[in-house]
Amino acid sequence: MPPSSQKNFPEGFQHYPLYFSLSQQQDLIEAVKQGVAAAPFFQPTMPRTGAPLSVVMSNFGPLGWVTDKEKGYRYEAVHPKTDKPWPDLPSLLGNLWDAVTDFPARPEATLINWYKEDKASKMGMHVDNDENDLRAPVVSVSLGDPAMFRIGGPKRGGPTQGIKLFSGDVVVLAGEARLCHHGVSKVFYGESALVPKGGRINLTMRRVNGVNRP
């Protein structure tokens, strides 16, 4: 499935509308349910202030992204509350990575962010730059309620472009877009019944460590 054409978006931004069928979306939600049974959702906090993020999260893969006031943003091999390894990456997500990227290694971390309806969750503008190899793309999957995704430039502030992401949509940030500020300004709660307790699930795949290219 080719990505849709997006005018005025940074080079390397790709949007695949409804990449996953409804049955595949349900399979991914089931994988999330099994994953968080082993690695429960937790509430991350900001490094400087200790203020909680508005999303709760978990991870798939050998590494998980965590943040807290004491140690800041980082990747860890174990869950911060249970001290146990994260669950394995579901095959649907591994196959997605292979299909939409040409990076020669699978992702090591897949963030599971739950935008809960009772918290009116959003995600402020940010750049994913905690990884050791920034050549690897970021691949994001939307499940459940739609969201307004916004992307700007490499510097904070300035104009942004918005696109409404629906359940089953996939976004790839590669090339120039990989280091552009982006975030979620709004979730359109109540428009999908896919997530059992409502809201939006976002799965974000990242490669943390570098690889030797031919």
Structural domain includes residue 193? yes
In a domain, 190, yes or no: yes
85 domain residue, yes or no: yes
Strands 64-66 and 182-187: unpaired
83: left (phi over 0), alpha (psi -120 to 50) or beta: left
Q: How confident is the model at residue 210 (pLDDT cuts 50, 70, 90)?
A: confident
Spatial separation of the C-alpha atoms in residues 194 and 187, rounded to whole Å: 14
pLDDT on residue 213:
56
User: With b meaning 16 or more CB within 10 Å and e meaning fewer, what string describes 9-22?
Assistant: bbeebbbbeebbee
- Report pLDDT digits (tens) over 192-204: 999 999 999 999 9
The string of pLDDT tens digits covering residues 16-28 is 999 999 999 999 9
Tell me the one-letter amino acid at 110: T
> In terms of pLDDT, which residue wins out, 69 or 214?
69
pLDDT of residue 108: 97
- Asked if the structure places residue 6 within a domain, the reply is no
Rounded to 5 degrees, φ, ψ at 203 are -110, 120
**DSSP one-letter code for 120:** T
Mean per-residue pLDDT of the chain? 94
Number of domains, the chain:
1
Question: How does pLDDT run across 33-77, given as a tens digit for each residue?
Answer: 999 999 999 999 999 899 999 999 999 999 999 999 999 999 999
Write down the pLDDT at residue 36: 98
Q: What is the mean pLDDT of residues 1-11?
A: 79
The domain of 63 spans 13-206
Report the candidate in 66, 68, 64, 65 with the shortest Cα–Cα distance to residue 45: 68
Residue 1 lies in a domain: no
Residue 78 has pLDDT above 70, yes or no: yes
Q: Is residue 213 part of a domain?
A: no
For the stretch 145-191, pLDDT in tens is 999 999 999 998 889 999 999 999 999 999 999 999 999 999 999 99
Question: Does 133 fall in a domain?
Answer: yes
Q: Is the pLDDT of residue 85 over 80?
A: yes
Q: Do the domain assignments include residue 7?
A: no
pLDDT of res. 5: 65
- 195: which 2 tokens? 């997530």
Q: What is the pTM of this model?
A: 0.94
| 24: three-class secondary structure by DSSP | helix
Domain with 18 in it: what CATH number? 2.60.120.590
